[in-house]
Amino acid sequence: MIPQDTYPSIVPFLTCGWPSPEGFLASVRGLAKVGCPYFEVGFPFSDPIADGPTIQLTSSEALEAGMNLKMCFELTAQATRESGIPAVAMTYANLVYHLGLNEFCQRLKEAGGEGLIVPDLSFEESEPVKEACNRHDLHLVSFLAPTTAAERRREVAAAAQGFLYLVAVRGVTGGAGASGPELQQLITDAKAAAACPVLVGFGVRGPEQVMDILKAGADGAIVGSALLEKVRAAGTDGASIEKAVEEFLGPLVQACGATPA
């Protein structure tokens, strides 16, 4: 299952197969070296609703290069096997239901997955997916956003498993992060009801922001768009990508150690 004793932590997001299969594997090697306990792997989808322009572009490029669901499972299996750390898959309901809930969850588990995130799956419609996840020892991760009403926050947080994903922006990934009283209240409400770690994502870009998130009471941060921008700038060489990932994530991981849990 998703590690529960490694917090505070940085959880990186990567697009499966991007910028190439080897580039993806090099990115995983880099994040493993700096001590990330697991990683999110985005299975590319043609019509994402939660992803901002950076992640959308990486998904489109991966699909254009031939990535498909079968390859996603194979690459994720190779990445988790080589790095020794598990993955949490993030993708959309169409892919999960098209393959079949049990088949998808079984393949994800066999690939070294420990959790599943489905942004377009509503809380009210999540029970069949959660049941399939539970049958295969996977966590179905839930979301809370600044726009979530207080009563619903308590309901979603109380049912959360693996970790609770707090969306820190009013929009898509890569935007300006929420801060101050609004973010503090979201974290406070989540921590009061959740029996699992609470992580903040969408818009996380630097160590100072990570420290603010942890000081507000969260258990860690998820970083995606900013990391993928560094990967793109590193070019196509695997060693350069691995180094870029290490250099970007290292200070964020250090910020976790510098901030009391």
- Tell the residue number behind the tokens 């997916």, with chain if given: 129
What residues contact 254, with CB distance under 8 A and at least 6 apart?
207
Of the listed 5, 22, 40, 246, which one is catalytic? 40
Of the listed 5, 22, 47, 51, which one is catalytic? 51
- Residue 51 appears among annotated catalytic residues: yes
- Residue 120 appears among annotated catalytic residues: no
List, by residue number, the catalytic residues.
40, 51
